[in-house]
Chain A
Amino acid sequence: MLIKSRTRSALTEAEATPESSYVSRRTLIKGLGAGLASLAVSSSTWGLDLFGGDNGKEAPRKPLEFSPQKRVPDLMLTPETKVINHNNFYEFGTGKTDPAKNSQGLKIEPWTLTVEGEVAKPATVDVWKLMADIGLEERIYRMRCVEAWSMVIPWVGFELGKFLKRFEPTSRAKYVAFETLYDPEQMPGQRNRYVGGGVDYPYVEGLRMDEAMHPLTILSVGLYGKTLPPQNGAPIRLVVPWKYGFKGIKSIVKIKLVEQMPPTSWNRLAANEYGFYANVNPAVDHPRWSQASERFIGPGGLFAVKRQPTLPFNGYGEEVASLYRNMDLRKFY
C-alpha cells in the first residue's frame, strides 16, 4: 500500500490559485488535445503589448503531460504573463523584460544534456525525448529572488535526485556542477560584457550532493502546463525552492558530479554578496537591502503590490533545515 503524507509546505492547487484562473487553467489543460489555437491566444494576452507589435515572434510552447499537484494551502499563483515577462537571464540582457524580448530565437530543439564526472554511467541525453519518457509532475513552488521579490510558480518537471541516480553517482561525488549553454552567436550577453552584466560565461551553478538529491529539488521543463519559454530557461532548468532564484540555472547543457565545491557565477562576480549556498534567509541581509521581507508579484497592478515577510528557507524549512544542522548560515550564506 502506498501511503502518501503531505508536509506543511507542499502546496495544493485550489488554495494556490485565484478561482477564476484555476478554472480557466483546468479548462485549458483539458482542451490541450485540440488546444494549440487556444495556447496562441493565451500567450499573447498581456506580455506582447509590452513589446509593441512583436506579435507572432514568440517561441511556440508545447503542452506537456504531467500529474497535477494535489491540494495546496493559501498561496496565490503569479499570473503566467508575469512569470514569463519578468526574468533574470543575463545572457539576454540585464533588464527584466530583455530576456523575453531577446531570447525568442534561441534554438532549443534539439537539445542534449551531458551528465559526467563522478558517475559510473556518464551519458548524453536527448532532453525532448527525456521529457516525453520520464514521468512529469507539477510542483507549485514559491520563488524568492535575491532582489527581494517573489512569485508562486506552477513548474512541471521531475526530481533531480531520481534523474541523477540513473547515472550511478560514485562515492566520490560530493557536489553537482551545472553549466548553461555557451553560444555567443545566440546569446547577446555572452558577446558583450555590457549586455551580459559583466558575468563570466558560461553561467555555472552548483549544489551539494544532499541538496541535489533532496526530493524538493527538481529539473523543470515546463510551467503552467506547457514547455518553458526561452526566457525562463528552456528547455531544461534547475529549481531549488528554498534557495534564492539565481541558483536556478537555466538552459542547462551539462551536469558534472565532482569532489570539490564548484564555482558559481554570482559568487565569482561578487563573493561578499552571493554565497554558494544562497539559502533564503530573512535574518541575513544582502549588503544593500534587507531580506526580511519581499514584494510578492501577484495579480493586479502597481498599487496591488504587497510586501510580505520572507520565511526561513522560503517556507521549506521543515523539509530542508536539517541539511544545514551545525552550519553557521551567516557565514555560509
Chain B
Amino acid sequence: MLQLAVHIGALLPLLWLVVAINQGRLGGDPVKELIHYLGMGSIRLLLLTLLVSPLAKSLQFGQLNRLRRPLGLWCFTWASLHFCTWLALDLGLDWSLIGGELVKRTYILLGFSAWLILLAQAITSIPALLRKMGKSWKKLHGLLYVVVLLACWHFWWSVKSGWIEPAIYFAIAVCLLVWRRAAVARWARSFKG
C-alpha cells in the first residue's frame, strides 16, 4: 500500500509535466523550468529516502524500510531526467560544450558526481547483486550520505541570487544526517577494515 503511494507520488508529477509541456505552461524558457523542476524533485526524493530508516526506527515500524528501494530508484529516475534534459535540451548534445562545462563548472561536476553514485546504487539495487556484494554493497549504498551533501551543494552553487532556499535544503540534509549519526559513523568506520 505504502509502496503504491510512493510510485504514484513520484509518477504523477511527471505525468503533470507531460501535460504542462504540451500546453506550453512552462513559460518562455521551458528548458530551464524543466531542469529546475526535475532537479528540485530529485532533491526532495533524496531527502525522503534518507528519512525512511530513522523514521522507521523511532516509530518502531520496520515495514517502512521497504520504501527505501522504490524511493531511491525514483530519486535516480528524476535525477537522470534532470541530467538528460540538461544534456539534450539545454546543451543540445554538443559534446565538446558538455565536456567543457563539466570540467569548468564545479557545481556541475558536483551534480554529475552525485548522479554517478546514484547510477551505481541503482544498478546494484538488483536483489541478486545485493547478495553477491555482501559488505561492499553497504559501503556503496552508504554513499547516499555523500550524495545528499553533493546535491545540496550543487543546488547552492547553481542559484544566481538568494541563498535561503538552498540553505533550507542543506539544513534538512544536515538534520537527517545528524539524526542517524550512529549509522553514518558505522558506515565511515567500515572503510577502515
Closest to A307 in B: B92
Could you tell me if B158 and A50 are in contact, using CB atoms closer than 8 angstroms?
no
B166 touches A (CB below 8 Å): no
Counting CB contacts under 8 A, is A297 at the interface? yes
Judge if B31 is at the interface, Cβ distance under 8 Å: yes
Complex: A178 Cα to B48 Cα, angstroms: 47
A307 touches B94 (CB 8 A): yes
> Provided the pairs A96-B27, A302-B21 are in contact, do residues A295 and B107 lie with their beta carbons within 8 angstroms?
no
Main secondary structure of the interface of A (DSSP, over half): loop
A-chain residues with CB within 8 Å of residue B91 when the two chains form the complex: 307
Give the nearest-CB partner of A83 in chain B: B28
| Cross-interface CB contact of B28 among A96, A288, A307, cutoff 8 Å | A96
Partner of A302, one of B31, B97, B100, B101: B31
In angstroms, how far is the closest chain B Cβ from the Cβ of A293?
Answer: 7
| A147 CA / B105 CA spacing, docked (Å) | 15
Q: Which residues of A contact B33 (CB under 8 A)?
A: 96
Asked if B161 contacts A49 (CB within 8 A), the reply is no
Q: For the complex formed, measure the closest distance between the CB of A44 and the CB atoms of chain B, giving whole angstroms.
A: 15
Of chain B, the residue at the smallest CB distance from A147 is B160
Contact flag A301-B28 (CB < 8 Å), given A293-B97, A307-B91:
no
User: Which B residues touch A149, using CB under 8 A?
Assistant: 29, 32
Nearest to B158 among chain A residues (CB) is: A288
Which single residue of chain A is at the shortest CB-CB distance from B22?
A301
Residues of A that sit less than 8 Å from B by CB: 46, 49-50, 78, 82-83, 85-86, 90, 94, 96-97, 147, 149, 194, 197-199, 269-270, 285, 287-290, 292-293, 295, 297, 301-303, 305, 307
Instruction: Give me 15 other A-B pairs in contact (C-beta within 8 A), A85-B28, A149-B32, A197-B160 excluded.
Output: A50-B27, A86-B27, A94-B161, A94-B162, A97-B27, A199-B161, A289-B101, A289-B105, A290-B100, A295-B29, A295-B32, A297-B29, A302-B30, A305-B31, A307-B90
Cβ contacts A to B, 18 pairs, < 8 Å: A46-B24, A50-B27, A83-B28, A90-B161, A94-B161, A198-B162, A198-B163, A269-B161, A285-B104, A288-B107, A290-B101, A293-B97, A295-B90, A297-B28, A297-B29, A305-B30, A307-B91, A307-B94
